[in-house]
Structure formats: C-alpha cells, structure tokens
C-alpha cells in the first residue's frame, strides 16, 4: 500500500471514531464495486463504515422485458449486435447467448463502430443499445451514422432520486460514478441533499472519496465533491450531451429490480425513426411483448441492486446461481454485486 | 462497463478517427466527442475518446494501471 493510501486510511479511521455512529456509503458505479472488491477495501474499513453497492451496473439494471424483445427479434431471424457484458443476461425466456445457441445471429461487439462494420455484411443488423450516459453518446453517434438501434439506454440521476425516496434504504453518502459524470458534469447532482463524491476508479480514488464523505459529515455539509478532477469537469462533455439531446428524448424506463422509473430512459426521437428498431419492428415487438410471461424466480437481484440485502442473503447465491449458471443479471456481469461477491468474497 | 483507459493521440485521420497509443499498443479510436490534436491525451471508453486529460494525469493513471 502506498504511503498516501496509508495516510488517508488513518484519517478515515480517526474521522470514523469521531463520528461514532454507523454510516452506510453506497457506490453507484459497478466499476467502483469491482475496485472495492479487488483491493479488499471493505476489510480495511472501521467497523462503523459499511460500503454497499447500488444500481450502478448498467447491464444488471437492464429489464427482462428488453432482453425478451431482443431475444424475440433474434429468434425471428434479425441479426443482433450487443456488448459482450450483456449477452448472458437472462430474460424471462432466455438470454441472447442461448438464442445464439439456437441458431440466431447474435454478434458480440466492443464498440458501436464494430457494429457499423458488421452492418455492411448484415444489412438488417439491430444494435442493442444499453448503458447510462457513458455509452449513450456513442449510440447517438451511430444512429446519426445509420445504425439501427433498440434503445434500452437509461439516465442515472432519476435512479438516485428513487433510492433517496425509499425509506427502507439507509444511505449516508453516495460515491457517484466517474465516467457518467465525465459526460453529465457535477452540477446536476446538487439537487440531491446528501453528501456525494464523484470518484475515479483506483483503490486510492475510493479511499479519497470515503475521506471526503466523512469530512462533509463532520462539518455538517451535504454537497457534491469531485475527487476525479483529472477527467470530470463541472459542466461535463458538451459535445456528448448535444449528441444525446439530438438523437434521444426522455421517456419512462423499466429498471430490473427498481421497476418503472419515470423520465429515466432514452428513446430515439421521431426524426431518427428509420434507425429505431422499436419503430421498424413495432408489430413484431407488440407480438413478442404480448407473449411475455414473467417467470417467477426467487432471484433477489432487485433488492441487491438497491443495497437492501447483501448477495449472500439471497437463497440462490452460490447454490443454483453462479457465474456459470446465472439466475439473475447481478451474477452475469463482472460488475454485478453477486458476481463480484462470488469471485472475491470469503469462500 | 464503465472502464476507460488513457491514450495519446498520435495521428488524426479523417471521419473523426484517430490513432491512439496505449502504452505501446496502437489502436484506432473515434474522436467525435472531443476536440483534440496530435499529442493530446484522452480517456477512451468503448472505442470513443470521452474526455481530454492532462499529460500528468494520463501518466499517473498509467502508472496505477501498471
């Protein structure tokens, strides 16, 4: 451990003693959860500080019904391109990977540009657009350049509002996502009256963020600190915001586990409807949606995503639900809380 | 999903493309979300530069990754 980390950790312990009462800090980015686990940060915390993961993994919060639509399109003979993180996410019927095994044309891509190249040999290709403000500008760019997209994109701040309104979730401070904030900036978070720190992705960044949260609590403040100044600017990335605004309009969206959140989704604007799979295949999608039957499952992904329970408190964890046989999205993505706990937790 | 890495722009190409150097590995990236010139450092996510960063910051992130 570097001497800077040691110094910050020392400060964290002193401040925690000074505050005394139990504190719960929620990290809002899956990559933060990964950093916390990989560096064993939970075990370094004073007893009264608990770090809990929030709904910050975009793959995990993608709703079953969106996966069902993509699976339905794929099985209907339409070629699909999807980010690798999302291909194993189960819908109500199956995942896109399972559809691929049944002969559907499902292609994993690393970027929308790869999807654009695939489109040349697969003219009917549909890209499964998902993610928060970090990936939305890339999808917007691709739509403007002719890619056909089914958008399950979401914006992050409305989910924070839902978490804060839920009295069952006790959080004393948020560690806000780094690269989402690179796009949207720092000002938008000011409406949330709770200590918040925008953080980078190294172990040291997270320690600094925890220290800043404790300093705010000690001085009775509830503001937005920016620890990730090397990337995040006050007003964010204006070019990226403009692209999102041009291509998408805000609509309601379903989040896995959190349910319908008003004005939290990005839908393709009418002027780009020739690139909107929801418009092009509206009859087929209507038919797919009519046939969806919610599969009853004991999967607790929704409560895990809100920090209401720990992954191990789910009855399926490690028994029938493992990374090789995931029952819910939290076990699929390497940034999902259950997947992380399975890999890094005490065996 | 939000992992991003720093790179140095070594050549600006047409159609908002550029070649970036990632610790010795050269890769094509899309620069339509940023204003950059040759020699600038950027942070890259899913094939797109999402923000320009300072040289010192890029070096410190790189040393952490190593």
CATH of residue B37's domain is 2.30.30.140
Other residues' Cβ atoms within 10 Å of the Cβ of residue A286 = 10
Cβ(A36)–Cβ(A30) under 8 Å? no
Task: With CB atoms and an 8 Å threshold, state whether A179 touches B50.
Answer: yes
Residue partners of A168: CB distance under 8 A and separation at least 6? A308
Which comes out higher in pLDDT, residue B64 or B46?
B46
Q: By C-alpha distance, which of A8, A11, A31, A27 is closest to A19?
A: A11
Separation of alpha carbons A240 and A297, rounded Å: 39
pLDDT reported for residue A258: 86
Reading the block at residue A79, the tokens are: 């070629």
Separation of alpha carbons A31 and A327, rounded Å: 21
Reading the block at residue A81, the tokens are: 């391109």
Among A47-56, A155-164, B2-11, the least confident range: B2-11
Among A3-12, A66-75, A245-254, B51-60, the least confident range: B51-60
Residue with tokens 């408190």: A313
Q: A347 pLDDT band (50/70/90 cuts)?
A: low
Separation of alpha carbons B29 and A110, rounded Å: 12
Average pLDDT over every residue of A275-292: 95
Q: By C-alpha distance, which of A179, A183, A180, A178 is closest to A236?
A: A183
Q: What is the mean pLDDT of chain A?
A: 94
Angle between the N-to-C axes of helices A282-291 and A64-75, in degrees from 0 to 180, rounded to the nearest 10:
120
Indicate whether A99 pLDDT > 80: yes
Average pLDDT over every residue of A277-297: 91
ipTM above 0.90, yes or no: no
pLDDT reported for residue A296: 77
pLDDT reported for residue B63: 64
C-alpha angle A317-A33-A218 in degrees, rounded to nearest 5: 120
Q: By C-alpha distance, which of A197, A196, A270 is closest to A228?
A: A197
Residue partners of A227: CB distance under 8 A and separation at least 6? A197, A198, A199, A200, A205, A208, A209, A212
Separation of alpha carbons A35 and B5, rounded Å: 15
pLDDT reported for residue B64: 59
- Please name the residue of chain B whose CA is at the shortest distance from the CA of residue A177: B2
Average pLDDT over every residue of A64-82: 97
Cβ(A254)–Cβ(A92) under 8 Å? no
- Please name the residue of chain A whose CA is at the shortest distance from the CA of residue B6: A231
Chain centroid, CA A336 distance in Å: 9
Q: A297 pLDDT band (50/70/90 cuts)?
A: confident
Reading the block at residue A221, the tokens are: 């403040």
pLDDT reported for residue A295: 75
Separation of alpha carbons A13 and B24, rounded Å: 40
Cβ(B52)–Cβ(A237) under 8 Å? no
Among A131-145, A193-207, A245-259, A320-334, the least confident range: A320-334
pLDDT reported for residue A302: 87
Say what the pTM is.
0.93
Cβ(A178)–Cβ(B2) under 8 Å? yes
pLDDT in tens, A112-154: 999 999 999 998 999 999 999 999 999 999 999 999 999 999 9
- Helix intervals (H) in B1-66: 55-65
Among A140-149, A217-226, A265-274, A316-325, the least confident range: A316-325
Q: What is the mean pLDDT of chain B?
A: 88
Average pLDDT over every residue of A296-317: 90
- Please name the residue of chain B whose CA is at the shortest distance from the CA of residue A84: B1
pLDDT reported for residue B27: 93
Q: B59 pLDDT band (50/70/90 cuts)?
A: confident
Indicate whether A198 pLDDT > 60: yes
Indicate whether A299 pLDDT > 80: yes
pLDDT reported for residue A116: 96
* CATH value of A1-296 in 3.40.50.11750, 3.40.1350.10, 3.40.630.30, 3.90.1300.10: 3.40.50.11750
Average pLDDT over every residue of A60-83: 96
When computed from its CA atoms, the radius of gyration of chain B, rounded to whole angstroms, is 11
Cβ(A152)–Cβ(A66) under 8 Å? yes
Interface of A with B (CB under 8 A): 29-31, 57-59, 83, 85, 110-114, 131-132, 134-135, 137-138, 141, 177-180, 182-183, 201-202, 204, 230-233, 237, 239-240, 243, 333, 335
Per domain, the residue ranges of chain A are 1-296, 301-342
Average pLDDT over every residue of A241-252: 98
- Counting one residue from chain A and one from chain B, the pairs whose CB atoms sit within 8 A come to 89
- The domain tally of chain B equals 1
Mutate to test the interface with A, among B1, B35, B51, B52 (most CBs of A within 10 A): B1
CA distances from A144 to A67, A152, A184, A346, B33 (A): 24, 17, 20, 47, 13
Indicate whether B5 pLDDT > 90: no
CA distances from A245 to A239, A240, A266, A269, A271 (A): 10, 9, 9, 9, 12
Separation of alpha carbons A163 and A150, rounded Å: 27
Residue with tokens 């379903």: A254
pLDDT reported for residue A313: 94
- Helix intervals (H) in A106-227: 112-121, 136-144, 157-165, 178-184, 203-218
Provide, as residue numbers in chain A, all residues whose Cβ is less than 8 Å from the Cβ of B50: 134, 137, 179, 182-183, 237, 240
Average pLDDT over every residue of A191-201: 96
Domain of residue B22 covers 5-65
Q: B65 pLDDT band (50/70/90 cuts)?
A: low
Separation of alpha carbons A99 and A107, rounded Å: 11
């Amino acid at each position: 451990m570097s001497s800077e980390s040691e110094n910050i950790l020392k400060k964290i312990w002193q401040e925690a003693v000074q505050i005394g009462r139990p504190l719960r800090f929620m990290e809002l980015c899956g990559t933060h959860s990964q950093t916390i686990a990989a560096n064993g940060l939970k075990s370094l915390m004073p007893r009264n500080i608990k770090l809990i993961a929030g709904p910050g993994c975009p793959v995990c919060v993608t709703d079953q019904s969106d996966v069902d639509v993509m699976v339905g399109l794929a099985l209907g003979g339409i070629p699909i391109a999807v980010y690798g993180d999302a291909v194993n996410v189960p819908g109500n019927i199956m995942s896109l990977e399972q559809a691929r095994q049944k002969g559907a044309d499902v292609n994993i891509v690393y970027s929308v540009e790869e999807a654009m190249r695939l489109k040349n040999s697969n003219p009917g290709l549909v890209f499964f657009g998902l993610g928060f403000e970090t990936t939305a500008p890339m999808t917007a760019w691709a739509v403007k350049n002719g890619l056909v997209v089914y958008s399950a994109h979401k914006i992050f701040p409305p989910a924070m509002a839902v978490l804060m309104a839920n009295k069952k979730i006790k959080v004393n401070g948020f560690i806000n996502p780094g690269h989402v904030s690179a796009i949207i900036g720092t000002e938008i978070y000011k409406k949330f009256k709770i200590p918040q720190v925008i953080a980078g992705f190294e172990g040291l960044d997270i320690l600094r963020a925890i220290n800043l949260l404790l300093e705010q609590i000690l001085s009775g403040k509830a503001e937005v600190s920016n620890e990730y100044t090397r990337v995040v600017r006050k007003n964010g990335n204006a070019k990226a915001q403009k692209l999102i605004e041009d291509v998408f309009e805000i609509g309601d969206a379903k989040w896995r586990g959190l349910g319908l959140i008003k004005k939290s989704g990005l839908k393709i604007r009418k002027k780009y409807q020739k690139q909107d799979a929801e418009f092009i295949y509206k009859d087929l999608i209507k038919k797919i949606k009519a046939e969806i039957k919610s599969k009853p499952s004991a999967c607790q992904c929704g409560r895990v995503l809100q920090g209401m329970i720990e992954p191990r408190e789910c009855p399926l964890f490690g028994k029938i639900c493992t990374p090789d046989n995931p029952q819910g999205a939290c076990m699929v993505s390497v940034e999902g809380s259950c997947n992380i706990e399975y890999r890094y937790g005490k065996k | 999903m939000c992992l991003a890495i720093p790179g140095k722009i070594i050549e600006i190409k047409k159609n908002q493309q550029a070649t970036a150097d990632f610790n010795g590995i050269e890769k094509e990236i899309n620069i339509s979300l940023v204003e950059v010139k040759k020699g600038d450092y950027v942070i890259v996510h899913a094939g797109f530069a999402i923000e320009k960063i300072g040289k010192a910051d890029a070096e410190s992130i790189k040393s952490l990754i190593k």
